[in-house]
Structure 1
């Protein structure tokens, strides 16, 4: 069957979480939980054809609700909203009214607040498309939830395509103007699924600028050229080559993606040991590249693997952080009568 279901355990408030496993024509599988819309497992082949899990996560839903996980906040595999990334001091002004949000990443607001989209149960419907099996997830975020205005209706469709890509299609409508920045927070490790670090992965980013941030990771407003800095991935090189030159012990920044043609990848990652490759196609203007700097070995994930520093990397396609407070950034305001639509595709392959 292209889509199968199984139990994922009970949440701390007694609700049942489900797993949906999508399998394409080549045997690749993507497993997604209704809790947080979380991608819990993704099996893709290496250059010898062996399937391996390339994302970080846990064996049951309680792992995503443990005190250790919630305190460290890595957001493994989850859908993020209403606003992915940070909003300075948990405040923004919209149409003359100031709104106050949780400062859950002191002194700032992060990833939708204390109970963002990563911590709710989504309704799910399995299906099939011409491209492969699908899972449609829906969530209604009520007016005032986490301080945001408007009743926001969100739909996210996961598709595991016959071309060995995992596609995420986002759609949303609202009855009041509201900031919106949806993304997915999967941690990838194309070699050993988190049991070794990702510093040997080779990254190429089609971006010649990045958003400069202050000491709390809030953009200053400057879009700085990457040339001559450790943020220059315009030519492929290993993630670990210049990571020591980055303040904070690793990358956690937004790159300004250059426009690309339809279906053209803006990011490419190669893992030389397994031979696996990952290409990212997106219509979003930015990507947060994060190298798991805050993982410290306290979390034990699937197969008993302890996730240490740099055990995975994230490629969170997005609008820019703190855009509601930066009029010069691309707008993230969704208004009544408009439909937000966005699509990101993660394409997997092997080196020729």
Structure 2
């Protein structure tokens, strides 16, 4: 375990904390956005990097597209930047084309674009905390959030998120890493190959259709006989050039013990690396990074462009506050929100 200053934002030191498990898997976590900056998995050929990451805090501010961050206070979208709770209508920061709220607002509002506080750490785990004031980006209630990253033997990154509020509010959190399992140990200094040849399984029989602004229509449709059917392993690349930024209703409902269940499996055919996603959340957003573009080199000189990684983001339904039949994302005083998500590599 090590802690170093990664950079500064508005005079605040941004720290990087390295955590690892005995088998050799290692993650580097930033106090900026609670970002997973790097994640290395041991293999017979050496440590294999499995996430998109950047070299400076300026690059994260300018180009990261939430890479590795915790999205919140409300991950994904809220239509028209407004919702009604207990008879009162709230207007939020509309940071998506001036029309909608995406990932909680802009810099200084979105949880993935502001400093967190280092609360605790040891060799294999780190806990970060964030206080979000009442009215932050327009959301009601002062919110206290904690995220713990934990390396679990032999090669699992476990993410534990808790939150409490002093007034009724709505919340939704998601881990927004871009995964690429086909970068061989030592890869660097060049364009990252497309991740579209990865094989994917999603444990969901239904998906939530979107309109042209990536806002849920309110429908819940079956995946059978659609391009969104990933119930059996298949390549992400589609013959018709389909682009994916869509959410799935996960099949299994976690039991009250808050134990994560299987949500997805991603496989890199070139390296043989597999990642299983386990979560307590009811919904999984799948994004193929088709819009990703960074004009600066990333880790070890890697160049990130379209389809440089796969996002598999457990969360609640997007825009739930405006669709009463979606999962409940309300948090009230005296309640504690809890999420557990695990990315298991092998």
Displacement after TM superposition at 1:163 (Å): 2.9
The two structures, once aligned, show a CA RMSD in angstroms of 1.6
Cα distance change, pair 243–4 in 1 and its aligned pair in 2 (3 A): farther
Deviation at 1:38, TM superposition (A): 0.4
Alignment partner, residue 125 of structure 1: 119
1:218 to 215, 223, 228: 215
2:46 is aligned with 1:50:
yes
Where does residue 75 of structure 1 map in the other structure?
A: 66
The equivalent position to 2:307 in structure 1, one of 301, 305, 310, is 310
- CA 1:165 to 1:143, structure 2 compared with 1: closer, same or farther past 3 Å? same
Q: Is 1:321 matched up with 2:313?
A: no
* Mapped contact 1:230–1:243 kept (Cα < 8 A): no
Within the alignment, does 1:179 sit opposite 2:173 as a pair?
A: no
Using the TM superposition, give the Cα deviation of residue 295 of structure 1 relative to its aligned residue in structure 2, in angstroms: 1.5
| Maintained 8 Å contact 1:267/1:281 | yes
Partner of 1:97 in structure 2? 88
1:260 and 1:266 in contact (8 A); partners too: no
- Secondary structure class of the residue paired with 1:266: strand
Q: What CA distance in whole angstroms lies between the structure 2 residues aligned with 1:275 and 1:8?
A: 33
Q: CA deviation at 1:260?
A: 5.6
CA distance in 2, matches of 1:288, 1:347: 18
Q: Does the residue aligned with 2:24 lie in a helix, a strand or coil?
A: coil
Task: State the match for 1:62 in structure 2.
Answer: 58
Matched, 1:116 2:107: no
* Aligned pairs for 1:169-248 within 5 A: 169-192=160-183, 195-242=192-239, 244=241, 246=242
Task: Report 1:32-47 matches (<5 A).
Answer: 32-46=29-43
Q: Distance in 1 between matches of 2:315 and 2:150?
A: 19
Structure 1, unpaired ranges of 5+: none
8 Å CA contact 1:243–1:251 kept in 2: the answer is: no
The reply on whether 1:283 has 2:274 as its aligned counterpart is no
After TM superposition, the score normalised by the length of structure 2 is 0.93
CA distance in 2, matches of 1:137, 1:339: 17
Q: Secondary structure at the match of 2:325?
A: coil
Match of 2:129 among 138, 142, 151: 138
Give 1:304 deviation, angstroms: 2.2
- Per-residue deviation, 1:265: 2.0
Residue of structure 2 in register with 1:150 after alignment: 141
How far is 1:14 from its partner? 2.3
3-state SS of 2:300 partner: helix
1:136-188: CA deviations, max 9, x gaps? 11001000111110000001111001131000011010011111001111011
How far did 1:298 drift?
3.0
**Contact (CA 8 Å) 1:25, 1:162: kept in 2 or not?**
yes
By how many angstroms is 1:6 displaced? 1.4
* 1:239 shift after superposition: 0.6
CA pair 325-242 structure 1, distance change in 2 beyond 3 A: farther
Paired with 2:159 and 2:55, the residues of 1 have a C-alpha distance of 23
User: Which among 310, 328, 332 is matched to residue 331 of structure 1?
Assistant: 328
State the distance in 2 between where 1:118 and 1:327 align. 27
Match of 1:259 in 2: 252
